[in-house]
């Protein structure tokens, strides 16, 4: 055995590596970095390090110049009866998935002194969101468009900035509110696409919906863990946070079966439906 093959690669800092991927502007490169980072985590080549530089604010993560970001109310409604309308919907979902990569990477970079499983969970999410984005981008190209061809909004990252100071708040309001909304609305989108004859996009959304249940479940796991650590009742805390940060903004329909699979309790569902 020679010296080159005997040398062991040093273990890198997972927070620093996640930040590098978070700030990467090119979508394809960001996806490769996110997927590679999870593989390196699984191989034991990256780990949390207590002496890593403290996290700083990230008002804008790495992103390409396009799409142009506009107010959510300024994003035009999409008519799925036209190829352009179908492409606009695929673009909107791809943009959500791109933001979700950044959210998962930021959860690894920003929040420290948590169990190793926390970092493994969010690296899994980053990896899977990257795959979702790449599937949607390929589909978008098949429809004659590219990522950036349509306007988009920045609602997901705006909430990341608002919750950057507290992992409990992040777990409650990003995966369990904003991303959980995808569980509610995706079945309806799939049905509309079936009627429009776009079965290729439906197949992609079936994969995404199945894996997004797991992502929301990860948010639930760590929200409840942090509530336990602080001696808080999780159901009551979730209700209080909804009342404070999202009053009147969570409306039906609810994909109750998917939410229950993702760890929502009957009490939380009653709260969301206005019955609690």
Q: Is the pLDDT of residue 5 over 50?
A: no
For domain 10-53+75-272, is the CATH number 1.20.1260?
A: yes
Section 5-23 average pLDDT:
85
Q: What is the pLDDT of residues 156-191, one digit of tens each?
A: 899 999 999 999 999 999 999 999 999 999 999 999
CB atoms within 10 A of CB 67: 22
Interatomic CA distance for residues 62 and 166, integer angstroms: 22
Instruction: Give the pLDDT confidence score for residue 2 in this predicted structure.
Output: 41
Instruction: Give the pLDDT confidence score for residue 79 in this predicted structure.
Output: 77
Q: Is the pLDDT of residue 251 over 80?
A: yes
pLDDT grade for 8, boundaries at 50, 70 and 90? low
Instruction: Give the pLDDT confidence score for residue 6 in this predicted structure.
Output: 42
As a whole number, the mean pLDDT across the chain is 93
Q: What is the pLDDT of residues 89-128, one digit of tens each?
A: 999 999 999 999 999 999 999 999 999 999 999 999 999 9
Domain boundaries, the chain: 10-53+75-272
Q: Considering the entire predicted model, what is its pTM?
A: 0.94
């Amino acid at each position: 055995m020679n010296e080159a093959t005997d040398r062991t690669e040093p273990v890198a800092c997972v927070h620093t590596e996640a930040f590098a991927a978070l700030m990467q502007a090119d979508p394809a490169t960001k996806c490769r970095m996110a997927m590679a980072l999870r593989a390196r985590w699984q191989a034991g080549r990256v780990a949390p390090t207590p002496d890593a530089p403290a996290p700083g604010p990230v008002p804008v993560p790495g992103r390409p110049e396009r799409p142009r970001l506009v107010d959510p109310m300024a994003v035009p409604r999409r008519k799925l009866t036209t190829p352009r309308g179908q492409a606009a919907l695929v673009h909107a979902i791809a943009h959500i998935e791109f933001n979700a990569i950044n959210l998962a990477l930021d959860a690894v970079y920003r929040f420290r002194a948590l169990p190793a499983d926390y970092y493994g969970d969010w690296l899994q999410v980053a990896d899977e969101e990257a795959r979702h984005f790449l599937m949607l981008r390929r589909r978008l190209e098949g429809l004659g468009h590219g990522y950036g061809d349509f306007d988009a909004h920045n609602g997901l990252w705006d909430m990341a900035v608002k919750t950057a100071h507290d992992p409990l708040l992040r777990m409650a309001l990003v995966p369990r509110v904003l991303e959980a909304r995808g569980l509610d609305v995706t079945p309806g989108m799939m049905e509309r696409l079936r009627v429009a004859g776009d079965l290729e996009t439906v197949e992609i959304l079936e994969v995404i919906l199945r894996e997004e249940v797991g992502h929301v479940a990860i948010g639930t796991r760590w929200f409840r863990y942090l509530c336990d650590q602080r001696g808080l009742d999780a159901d009551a805390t979730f209700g209080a946070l909804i009342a404070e940060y999202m009053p009147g903004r969570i409306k039906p329909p609810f994909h109750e079966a998917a939410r229950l699979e993702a760890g929502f309790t009957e009490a939380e569902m009653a709260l969301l439906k206005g019955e609690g």
